Amino acid sequence: MSQHLSEQEIIRREKLKKIQEAGIDPFPAALYPVSHYSADIKAQFSEENKDAFSNVCVAGRIMSINDKGKVFFIKIQDSKGIIQLYVKRDDICPAEDKSFWDTVVKHGLDLGDIIGATGFVFVTKTGETSLHTQTITLLTKSLKPLPVVKRDEEGNVFDEVTDPEFRYRQRYADLIINPHVKETFAKRTKLINTIRAFLNERGALEVDTPVLQAIPGGAAARPFITHHNALDVPFYLRIANELYLKRLIVGGFDFVYEFSRNFRNEGMDRTHNPEFTVLEWYTAYKDYFWMMETTEQLFEKVAIALHGTTDVPLGDKIINFKAPFKRISIFDAIKENTGIDISDKDEAGLREVCKQLNIDVDPKIGKGKLIDEIFGATSEHKYVQPTFIIDYPVEMSPLTKKHRSKAGLVERFELMVNGKELANAYSELNDPIDQRERFEEQLQLMQRGDDEAMYIDYDFLRALEYGMPPTSGIGIGIDRLCMMMLNQVSIQDVLLFPQMRPEKFEE
């Protein structure tokens, strides 16, 4: 990207120089005492209570300027909306000195500049609640023009900039010109706070676990690798926090959770970002049946908190998060959608099914991944309303307790919503001998070339040997949950700064 300046950028720098030559600091460091915000003024002001708005201080970014000669109508945008400033030359400048008006207001201000204003609130002849300005302070001079958008008379955007390359790469500008985007992220925070309150009310303890790990455990995924210079050893950015949270259950905590930033060195698309947020929690003396009921309650509460109802719009669909959710085993789901029963098939038989269904699979993967490929290709997308897919084959779940009554299966569920996995939960494996055997099976897959197979975590095995009580755990994809709860089609729309190919800047 070149540093070549556009004509508008050159003009803005010339204005900046003239303002500075006039002895005015265009980037002052002083505290600016904002007293009111646009939306609050508009909602609360009336002729009956106008005395309460006789000394108001606001600040915001200029979004429009209407020059009427000795009067300016300037609309500024603060964090809550837009308000109009009525700026009259004779009100803000003494009779003997109009230099501030000429240098700053008349010839110095541009769209995008951040200004402060004081005055009293009134209603114009056209019925617009405005600030009759008595002082103006230039707080920040904008040197780069904002992208052009169309706005109505209220200053609201009706023809927004939608180019995703621009919006995701320059999120700061996207937030300025598309203010509704801020609402998405405000709701994301509300969603997370609702979950946090739900867990805290049930006695859970929020904890932090390592992001840099010597062994990338807790999931089947390709890690990012870095190097620790002081120790001279490789480290990995965590792909999951599961094994550390289970260590805490071993240590005596009954209920722990973490909003975890995870990293997986994999593809990027509308539902995947290499850096993402997962909520995991683990509860002693519980199983996956309890976890299903608790998960239903949580999602129902989140939907109501954000929408006032369990019916959530998502594209042209309505997703109903009212508990209870449908439950079906993974084998029954595949049979329901293909007519094929794979429950008794070995690896060779599964490969034949893949061939029959025209599913291309990697020759290096084993039985568990083959079943996952079949489910993903034939069934996953069919479950639009919240559905628990339960009772997975043991080969698919190396960290999960074997089913108490169904041989060859484990006590696991995945929650599918709108055809995507939203949560993954187990009755956790707490038998250290069984866990070691599962890890060794994963090692064999790694030796076959499966770069997503799990490493053996000997310290975790040692922790299990001290004894972990019966435990249930879950991981919930927070970014995907936000997509579904906030009616967004791309994960990039619920991440403030999604990963993108780096720009090339030329000096």
pLDDT tens digits, one per residue of 7-44:
999 999 999 999 999 999 999 998 999 999 999 999 99
Has residue 147 got a pLDDT over 90?
A: no
Q: How many residues does the chain have?
A: 507
Any domain includes 254: yes
Any domain includes 55: yes
Secondary structure element (H or E) that encloses residue 172, with its range = helix 171-177
- Taking only the tens place, the pLDDT of each residue in 455-499 is 889 999 999 999 999 999 999 999 999 999 999 999 999 999 999
% of the chain residues with pLDDT over 70: 96
Q: Which residues contact 407 (CB under 8 A, 6 or more apart)?
A: none
**Count of other CB atoms within 10 angstroms of residue 433:** 10
The answer on 377 and 235 residing in a single domain is: no
The answer on 339 and 306 residing in a single domain is: no
The answer on 287 and 217 residing in a single domain is: yes
- Taking only the tens place, the pLDDT of each residue in 225-257 is 999 999 999 999 999 999 999 999 999 999 999
| Average pLDDT score over residue span 64-85 | 95
Supply the range of the domain harboring residue 236: 182-325+388-494
Rounded to whole angstroms, the maximal C-alpha distance in the chain is 95
Question: Taking a C-beta distance cutoff of 8 angstroms, is the pair 361, 373 a contact?
Answer: yes
**Residue 50, pLDDT score:** 94
Any domain includes 433: yes
Has residue 114 got a pLDDT over 60?
A: yes
Backbone angles phi, psi at 296, to 5 degrees: -60, -45
**Residue 74, pLDDT score:** 97
**Residue 2, pLDDT score:** 46
CA dist list (Å): 414 to 195, 282, 326: 19, 16, 12
Q: What is the CATH number of the domain that holds 97?
A: 2.40.50.140
The label of the residue with tokens 């390359």 reads 165
% of the chain residues with pLDDT over 90: 79
Any domain includes 428: yes
Parallel, antiparallel or unpaired: strands 205-206 and 255-263: parallel
The answer on 193 and 259 residing in a single domain is: yes
Question: Taking a C-beta distance cutoff of 8 angstroms, is the pair 131, 92 a contact?
Answer: no
**Residue 157, pLDDT score:** 53
Question: Taking a C-beta distance cutoff of 8 angstroms, is the pair 239, 263 a contact?
Answer: yes
Has residue 154 got a pLDDT over 60?
A: no
User: Higher-confidence residue: 501 or 484?
Assistant: 484
**Residue 1, pLDDT score:** 43
The answer on 404 and 369 residing in a single domain is: no
**Residue 257, pLDDT score:** 98
The answer on 235 and 334 residing in a single domain is: no
> In whole numbers, what is the pLDDT of the chain averaged over residues?
93
Has residue 116 got a pLDDT over 70?
A: yes
